[in-house]
Every structure is written in C-alpha cells, then in structure tokens.
Amino acid sequence: MDDPLIVVALLLVAASATAAVAVRDPARQALVLAVLGTVLAVLFTVLQAPDVALSQLAVGSALTPLLIMLSVRKVRRPQRKKEAER
C-alpha cells in the first residue's frame, strides 16, 4: 500500500462519488457520473484490472449519461409544454 498512484486514484473516486451525490440536478449529476466513470476506469487500471476498466469505460463514458439525459429530457418535456401554454 505504498503506491501513491493507488492512493490518488482512490481519493479521486471518493471525491467524485461524493460530488455525484451532492449535485442534485439530474442533468448536472449525469456530468459528474460521466467523470466518476472515467475515474473508476483509471482506478481499475491501477488495480491491474484492464478488463473491468474497459467495461467501465464503455458503459460509464457514453451509455449511462445518454440514458440519464434522455430520461431527463422526457420528464422535463411536459413541464416545458405547460410553460409554453402559459
């Protein structure tokens, strides 16, 4: 456990996970989750798990943000319509 690289990666994961919870707006949270995915992939690489890191990169960098952003758009749309009618 004397590897500073592992400590830095772990701290980055802890920090971005905390930020992902603290950011309350779903669209902004999706941005933090994208960064969390990238940081997790780096941590997995440092822990010598390149297969898991590839998985995390493939899922975390584009797929999860796309799913969340599409849901946000769908949930927000009726509200926008109401505002337009006003």
Compute the least distance from the CB of residue 20 to another protein, in Å: 5
Compute the least distance from the CB of residue 77 to another protein, in Å: 8
Q: What is the DSSP letter of 70?
A: H
Q: Measured from the CB atom, is 78 or 86 closer to another protein?
A: 78
Cβ(43)–Cβ(13) below 8 Å: yes
Three state DSSP letters for 15-61: HHHHHHHHCCCHHHHHHHHHHHHHHHHHHHHHCCCHHHHHHHHHHHH
Q: Measured from the CB atom, is 22 or 86 closer to another protein?
A: 22
CA nearest 58: which of 76, 75, 40? 40
Q: Measured from the CB atom, is 39 or 86 closer to another protein?
A: 39
Compute the least distance from the CB of residue 76 to another protein, in Å: 9
